[in-house]
Chains A and B, each alone.
Chain A
Amino acid sequence: AQSVAQPEDQVNVAEGNPLTVKCTYSVSGNPYLFWYVQYPNRGLQFLLKYITGDNLVKGSYGFEAEFNKSQTSFHLKKPSALVSDSALYFCAVRDSFYGGATNKLIFGTGTLLAVQP
């Protein structure tokens, strides 16, 4: 069965330091991977995606993610964290079944990023 794991409930980082939010996945076939961010009282906002091509994907607000097929990971990174990056981050993978694919996404449980000034 398809699944996404975000092993950390919370990540704490000091402003200006690099940040990493971890995500691993399990899916049959080629994965379509997505990162979303959720600010308080808002819906999920799309950050970036990996479909095919370069393993390093750049997205909104200076975020990037590295697709690693051998480790089945898609970690979210940013070279220098801002206090305004504090939010809930979700990793997601497109669902598939019987060798096909759907538009349904399987979401991780979310990681709360706290950036201290």
Chain B
Amino acid sequence: DAGVIQSPRHEVTEMGQEVTLRCKPISGHDYLFWYRQTMMRGLELLIYFNNNVPIDDSGMPEDRFSAKMPNASFSTLKIQPSEPRDSAVYFCASSDNTGRQPQHFGDGTRLSIL
């Protein structure tokens, strides 16, 4: 089975540009999570969805960040405008709705804002 698929794997862009990260969860999973990982802050949960509906976006750092899930097989995380401090590895994860099974993570997008 295909795991969680994220694209692009690497993104380098200049400050002020719009950045869009993409995620395809595992088929049949009802939950989708977006995380950010940095050396300074570790692993942070940004937002998560249940059945395509955002449940908790309290981890989204600023209004520059937005996330959507237009259908069960696709989600985006957008940063507009981007800033150097947004440089991090962004992970997407998905899980079923039992709470008894683990979240499955993609391999992340390494974002560098110059």
Known contacts A32-B99, A101-B99, A103-B99: A46-B104 contact under CB 8 Å: yes
Known contacts A103-B95, A104-B45, A104-B48: A41-B102 contact under CB 8 Å: no
- Which chain B residues border A103 with CB–CB below 8 Å? 31, 48, 50, 95, 97, 99, 103
Smallest beta-carbon distance A6→chain B, Å: 10
- Which chain B residues border A94 with CB–CB below 8 Å? 99
Count A-B contacts at CB 8 Å: 51
Stretch at the interface among B14-22, B66-74, B76-84, B105-113: B105-113
Interface residues on A, range: 20 to 34
Q: How many residues of B contact A (CB 8 A)?
A: 24
- Which chain B residues border A105 with CB–CB below 8 Å? 45, 103
- Which chain A residues border B104 with CB–CB below 8 Å? 46
Known contacts A94-B99, A103-B95, A103-B99: A43-B42 contact under CB 8 Å: no
Smallest beta-carbon distance A28→chain B, Å: 15
Indicate with 1 or 0, residue by residue over B88-105, a CB within 8 angstroms of chain A CB atoms. 000101010101101111
**A-to-B contact residues, CB < 8 Å:** 32, 34, 36, 41-46, 49, 51, 90, 94, 101-105, 107, 109-110
**B-to-A contact residues, CB < 8 Å:** 4, 31, 33, 42-43, 45, 48, 50, 55-56, 91, 93, 95, 97, 99-100, 102-108, 110
